[in-house]
Amino acid sequence: MIQLAPSILSADFSRLGEDVSLVEQAGADVIHVDVMDGHFVPNISYGAVVMKSLLGRTKLPFDVHLMIEHPDQYVEDFVTEQTEYITVHQEACTHLHRTLQHIKGLGVKAGVALNPATPLAALDYILEEADLILIMSVNPGFGGQKFIPSALRKVRELKALKKKQGLGFTIEIDGGVSLDNVKTITDAGVELVVAGSSVFKADDVKARVRTFRELF
Ligand code: DX5
Ligand code: ZN
């Protein structure tokens, strides 16, 4: 089953609760929460306080994408009854194995994200520990960027590895997803699709979520 995770990075923060309700009513599966520290990525977004303001406003699970250095220091802040995944970047973790155990020890599924230039081989000894692998299809830091096509090859190779090794992690993609490329993306093997600007910058947000769902 393929799921849609609208990224609130592109929502209207002056009416965040309403925007999240819209996507929930239209059938979104997960809320993607982009946390940026201005160090790992050249932008600052928001932190756990903003995410927690949505508790009770939506019943949807949270998919937390930490684009931050030293994520171990902050993972506890993002653990709530609605937090399904906490994903850290391979490039930001000196002791990735330890960080994944830390997240799972808090009762949350643990994900690993890879920047566009990072090879899949960086995950060779960690794949069986991960509940989710997030393939970045833009350089992280901003919404509304153009999809980087080599991410598709990475997804296909990851899907093949998953099958060969009989593993259960979810394959997620993030960045530059649109109505035009989403079919190619899901055909390649993506199971959790993040979409920011293509959902929240649409004239009719609910209609856009429904159209995405119809393409799955
Ligand atoms: C980028 C973030 C994305 C972003 C995607 O660094 O991780 O989740 O919100 O935005 P779009 O879908 O507009 O590329
Ligand atoms: Zn993200």
Reported as a pLDDT band with limits 50, 70 and 90, residue 67 is very high
Residues 90, 94: Cα–Cα separation, whole Å: 8
Handedness of CA 5, 168, 113, 93 (dihedral sign): positive
Residues 97, 104: Cα–Cα separation, whole Å: 11
- Give me the helices (H) in 27-136, please: 48-52, 96-105
pTM value is: 0.98
* Nearest residue (CA) to ligand 1, atom 6: 140
Ligand 1 centre to CA of 199 (Å) is: 11
N-terminal to C-terminal alpha carbon distance within the chain = 8
Tens of pLDDT, residue by residue over 164-176, are 999 999 999 999 9
Ligand 1 pocket member 139 (CB < 6 A) = no
**Strand arrangement, sheet containing 192-195:** 3-6, 192-195, 170-174, 132-136, 109-114, 83-89, 62-67, 31-36
Tens of pLDDT, residue by residue over 171-212, are 999 999 999 999 999 999 999 999 999 999 999 999 999 999
Tens of pLDDT, residue by residue over 17-30, are 999 999 999 999 99
Residues 171, 130: Cα–Cα separation, whole Å: 10
Q: Which positions are catalytic?
A: 34, 174
What is the token pair recorded at 144? 């509304």
